[in-house]
A and B are shown apart, each in its own frame.
Chain A
Amino acid sequence: MILSEKTQKKILAEKNKYPQPKTAILPALYAVYEEFGYLSNETMKETGELLNIPFLEIVEVASFYTMFPKKPTGKYFLQVCTNLSCALLGAEDLVKHLEEKLKVKTGQVTPDGVFSIGRVECLGSCGTAPMLQVNNLHFQEDLTKEKVDKLLEELKKS
């Protein structure tokens, strides 16, 4: 298995939590994501084997959730919300700005492997739109181009 023993254990623990084995797909994918930063066919196949759920169903679920990257991402994966509220408040400009600044397109990783850009559907933070999130973890809200620049600087440093 490509999955580490730790991840395997986590997945198996999730499997036993729910009466419906399918319920464990998302938590299991989180565990995989945590280890690799993205989901590959191979890791999804193994997840299916561990959960005893057809590979196809794992891919279906994973494909529904845009927050799971299916390709390797940078150390910091910046996902810009481009749903309605954010879009109205300039999300597209932010994406363009990021692309120009980092010199990569959405979906690509910077050559040094530090950043990658993605889009994400509404994260429920419409009141503070536009926004982006870093690595499925940290929300950056009420964004402007300047705030984005500052964020990039900070991340580069850490």
Chain B
Amino acid sequence: MVKINVDGKPVEVEEGQTVLQAALKLGIYCPTFCWHEKLEPIGACRICLVEIEKSPKLAVSCITKAMEGMNVHVSSPKAIDGRKGVMEMLLVNHPLDCPTCDKGGECDLQDVAYYVKNDRSRFGEPKRRFLTSARSTFDEKQIGPLMYLTMNRCIACFKCVRMLKEVAGEYDLGAFGRGVFTEIDVVKDQPITNEFSGNTVEICPVGCLTSKPFRYAVRTWLTQKKSSVCGFCSDGCNLTLWVGGDKIFRATSRKNDAVDEGWICDKGRYGYDIVNHSDRIKTPLIKKNGKLEPATWEETFDLISNKIKETKDKFGPDAFAGIGSARCSNEDNYLFQKFFRTVVGTNNIDHRVAFKRLLPSPSSSSIENLYTMTNSIEELEKTKMIVVIGCDITSEHPIIGLRIKKAVNNYATPLVLINSKKTKLNAWAKTEILPKFGTEVALINSLCNAALNQKADQGFKDWVKTYSPQKVSEITGVEANAISKLAEEISSAERCIFLLGRDVLSHPQNQELIDAVYNLAHLTGALNKPHSGVNLLWEYNNSQGALDMGVLPDRLPGLTPLNQADYLQNVEKVWQSKISTKPGFNIHQILDGIDKGEVKFLYVMEENLVSNYPDRKYAQAVLAKAAFSVVQEIFLSETAQRATVVLPAASFAEKEGTFTSVERRVQKFQRGVRPQNQSKPDWQIISMLALWMDYENFNYDSTEKISTEIFSLVPSYLGLDYKKLGNNGAQWNGFVSKKEAMTYSLKKTDLKPIQSEQGYPFILTTGNLVHHCGTLSGYSENLNLVVNESFCEMNQQDAEKLGIKTNDEIWLESASGKIKTKAKLSSNLQPGMVFVPINFKELEVNLLMDKDNLVDWIKISKV
């Protein structure tokens, strides 16, 4: 530690910290432009000048290291005068077009000019001008689908390009030329579209970079700021929503160092406009003569409650089924399952609609099926090796991707990517392993074989020996010595974090693959070393929460088995109701049940079954057969269109509650705007419906009341305090300790080779695009400005053989269906594989899927 004095006050800072940081630590204001907490300081703007005793010149505080005994003056006349001079220079060329500048009111240059209070300039020369054309008035140009540049306002702090290069590793915005004519710009024919582009707008100190959706939309002082949490991917970035009336004007980051470090991706930043989309369902709807007609809430509650009573009397509680949502809050999901378990009396509930092969329900107490992220995002910085398996991290989990880049850049953490296709993150990888799709289990077994030690008994050893590097090399297409080398690296890593993503979750051998990774982690010690472990990354903003709240056919809240007597008793007491211990139908059994006529009543909360179920035709057919279906939704989705009753639900920005992020972080989000039209928060709809049916213990008048019930009942959430979740959230823990992990028993996870299908030579894989998330973001007009067209990515050589070029229209055809899209040639995919994004509802990609085939084989032809 170093002791210094700033303005006469003593302060201690760590060795290597700057004078500026010392001042900030004391709460002493010192203006800055080019300095940013998360970027390397470069000392470019000089506005942070301070006086240091015994130093002949004023010092640039953001790059001057604090030295023992320094006497620093931020507020001395000399320092103030120095900063006045710098400000005068900065304003020489700045246009001072504040009256028409969109940044007005939140501009650092304005604020600092006001602070230094110098209203004279000694420079009368014409100002430097970058003209986009001789006749332009504003001198601004669009540099990307969502960004504008007004170069004349730039003060060359370089924060924008530094953020992109240092943090995101993106090179689509640069600083060209030199001196006073330094120009921020894109290069020819390459608009800025990287997924973190919006952060540059947020950190630009002046009105040089502005975003298309927000510029000239509102003056910031007319808006209110609401603390929110992103409603797209599961990373759980903290957002500030800037609202006015019923409209959301923009979303910016709300720094949470444990999660996002103040950066957010463009989905979270620009996707808020789904809330104000004109296609929102406006009123409740009831199907009459095959057409959905507007109705009142009273009518619909009457209809639904009568139907529930009638169906229950006639067919019993198991004629009901409910589908919850990975998008809804913990409170929504908690009430949803409580409704089904108490008011209806069945366990026929699930929310895992997109998976063909369901993993067994997770448990929070046994290492055997702890399907969650066991480490935290922050720990990625502390581990010594990161192994990503089956995940395009940049697209699925942008912010985890940033943390991985940070680990690689700042700590030289070796990154291993085991993916059947190349992803953007491969540029950061030390080791890339590209096994053939479907052979991953053999690869991991082979790594276990090479990493064998005394933790394995003879039986396991004998079995795993059959996965010799040579043999597995033939199966997977990965070189034998690459396998041995990787096993060696993982074994010798002091700490190691495994991240398993979407392609593992939806893998035909998902469970075996996860188990195999657990075997490897156990053998190499990653299960019990600090900052090490196996992490399953669920996809959506509240995937983890929906699991935790027990929207599962065989789990009570807290991932507790139905028959765990002591807990059951407790729950029954709180819920004042008997609970069935008979496991209910999972998602597939629910649909089969409707198909067979056993399930008469289906209730879907914010889940687009038709688009997300891995067999579209079947989902459509089943919905048509459902005797009575209620769909609670934001938009009139393909699923809602087929419902008997549609209830307008409020989006994440119109309600408050908590989400549990991928790293088990329970985070509170505030309501941004009033629910649009007649929509209501999901929890409120359920509670009103239950009250309508006279279930008094559903009398929840606020989210807080539900959260409080959750936090006093659900094991892993015990003791959380709704009021205290505001800023950083809290992670639930309470799963197996590192010591217990030692008792893990190795499993024999055999490879089951996938069977090819005659006449259908390509394997279909799906996923999210960098700018979209599920089918919801497709409603975002902002995000659609970046990408709004689906495509089928395919291997270059495959395409050449078929005479297909990029942008050619092609048919994708499976035994189940046929869809048309455009081809995109790529060298990222191995021959025989194609990739189609799931984000565009027009492209009904699940028409190609058959729920009974774990692998979707297709053929491709030119239109």
Residues of A bordering B, CB below 8 Å: 41, 54-57, 59-60, 63-64, 66
Chain A neighbourhood of B178, CB < 8 A = 63-64, 66
Partner of A63, one of B171, B176, B190: B176
Chain B neighbourhood of A66, CB < 8 A = 178
Least Cβ distance of A149 to chain B in Å?
Answer: 32
A60 — nearest CB in chain B belongs to which residue?
B174
B175 — nearest CB in chain A belongs to which residue?
A60
Q: Are B177 and A56 in touch, CB under 8 angstroms?
A: no
Least Cβ distance of A127 to chain B in Å?
Answer: 23
Q: Are A59 and B174 in touch, CB under 8 angstroms?
A: yes
Least Cβ distance of B165 to chain A in Å?
Answer: 8
Q: Are B176 and A41 in touch, CB under 8 angstroms?
A: no
Chain B neighbourhood of A56, CB < 8 A = 171-174, 187, 190
Least Cβ distance of A125 to chain B in Å?
Answer: 19
Q: Are A54 and B171 in touch, CB under 8 angstroms?
A: yes
Chain B neighbourhood of A59, CB < 8 A = 174, 176, 187
Q: Are A57 and B171 in touch, CB under 8 angstroms?
A: yes
Least Cβ distance of B611 to chain A in Å?
Answer: 37
B801 at the interface (CB under 8 A from A): no
Least Cβ distance of B179 to chain A in Å?
Answer: 9
Q: Are B176 and A60 in touch, CB under 8 angstroms?
A: yes
B189 — nearest CB in chain A belongs to which residue?
A41
B135 at the interface (CB under 8 A from A): no
In the complex, 11 of the A-B residue pairs with CB atoms within 8 angstroms, ordered by the A residue number, are A41-B187, A55-B171, A55-B190, A56-B171, A56-B172, A57-B171, A59-B176, A60-B175, A60-B176, A63-B177, A64-B176
B573 at the interface (CB under 8 A from A): no
Q: Are A57 and B174 in touch, CB under 8 angstroms?
A: yes
B188 at the interface (CB under 8 A from A): yes
Pick the 10 closest A-B CB pairs, nearest first.
A54-B171, A63-B176, A56-B171, A56-B174, A60-B174, A64-B178, A63-B177, A56-B187, A59-B187, A60-B176
Of residues 158 through 178 on chain B, the ones whose CB sits less than 8 Å from some CB of chain A are 171-178
Q: How large is the interface on B (under 10, 10 to 19, 20 to 34, 35 or more residues)?
A: 10 to 19
> A59 vs B174: C-alpha distance in the bound complex, in angstroms?
9
Q: Mark B185-207, 1 if CB is under 8 A from A, else 0.
A: 00110100000000000000000
> A22 vs B811: C-alpha distance in the bound complex, in angstroms?
44
A66 — nearest CB in chain B belongs to which residue?
B178
Least Cβ distance of A105 to chain B in Å?
Answer: 17
Least Cβ distance of A65 to chain B in Å?
Answer: 8
Chain A neighbourhood of B172, CB < 8 A = 56
Least Cβ distance of B569 to chain A in Å?
Answer: 62
> A109 vs B64: C-alpha distance in the bound complex, in angstroms?
48
Chain A neighbourhood of B188, CB < 8 A = 41
Chain B neighbourhood of A64, CB < 8 A = 176-178
A65 — nearest CB in chain B belongs to which residue?
B178
> A66 vs B177: C-alpha distance in the bound complex, in angstroms?
8
Chain A neighbourhood of B175, CB < 8 A = 60
Chain A neighbourhood of B173, CB < 8 A = 56
Chain B neighbourhood of A57, CB < 8 A = 171, 174
Of residues 845 through 862 on chain B, the ones whose CB sits less than 8 Å from some CB of chain A are none
Least Cβ distance of A137 to chain B in Å?
Answer: 22
Chain A neighbourhood of B177, CB < 8 A = 63-64
Chain A neighbourhood of B176, CB < 8 A = 59-60, 63-64
Chain B neighbourhood of A63, CB < 8 A = 176-178
> A64 vs B177: C-alpha distance in the bound complex, in angstroms?
4
Least Cβ distance of B130 to chain A in Å?
Answer: 14
Chain A neighbourhood of B171, CB < 8 A = 54-57
> A60 vs B186: C-alpha distance in the bound complex, in angstroms?
10
> A54 vs B174: C-alpha distance in the bound complex, in angstroms?
11
B170 — nearest CB in chain A belongs to which residue?
A54
Chain B neighbourhood of A60, CB < 8 A = 174-176
> A66 vs B178: C-alpha distance in the bound complex, in angstroms?
9
Q: Given known contacts A60-B176, A63-B176, what 13 new A-B pairs fall within 8 Å (CB)? A: A41-B187, A54-B171, A55-B187, A55-B190, A56-B172, A57-B174, A59-B174, A59-B176, A59-B187, A60-B174, A63-B177, A64-B178, A66-B178
Of residues 579 through 623 on chain B, the ones whose CB sits less than 8 Å from some CB of chain A are none
> A56 vs B177: C-alpha distance in the bound complex, in angstroms?
12
> A66 vs B181: C-alpha distance in the bound complex, in angstroms?
12
> A57 vs B162: C-alpha distance in the bound complex, in angstroms?
12
Least Cβ distance of B383 to chain A in Å?
Answer: 26
B178 — nearest CB in chain A belongs to which residue?
A64
> A28 vs B521: C-alpha distance in the bound complex, in angstroms?
45
Of residues 187 through 230 on chain B, the ones whose CB sits less than 8 Å from some CB of chain A are 187-188, 190
> A55 vs B174: C-alpha distance in the bound complex, in angstroms?
10
> A41 vs B175: C-alpha distance in the bound complex, in angstroms?
16
Least Cβ distance of A123 to chain B in Å?
Answer: 15
B183 — nearest CB in chain A belongs to which residue?
A63
User: Which of B172, B174, B177, B178 has most chain A Cβ within 10 Å?
Assistant: B174
User: Which of A60, A64, A66 has most chain B Cβ within 10 Å?
Assistant: A60
Of residues 522 through 574 on chain B, the ones whose CB sits less than 8 Å from some CB of chain A are none
> A41 vs B190: C-alpha distance in the bound complex, in angstroms?
12
Least Cβ distance of B333 to chain A in Å?
Answer: 44
Least Cβ distance of A19 to chain B in Å?
Answer: 14
> A41 vs B188: C-alpha distance in the bound complex, in angstroms?
9
Chain A neighbourhood of B190, CB < 8 A = 55-56
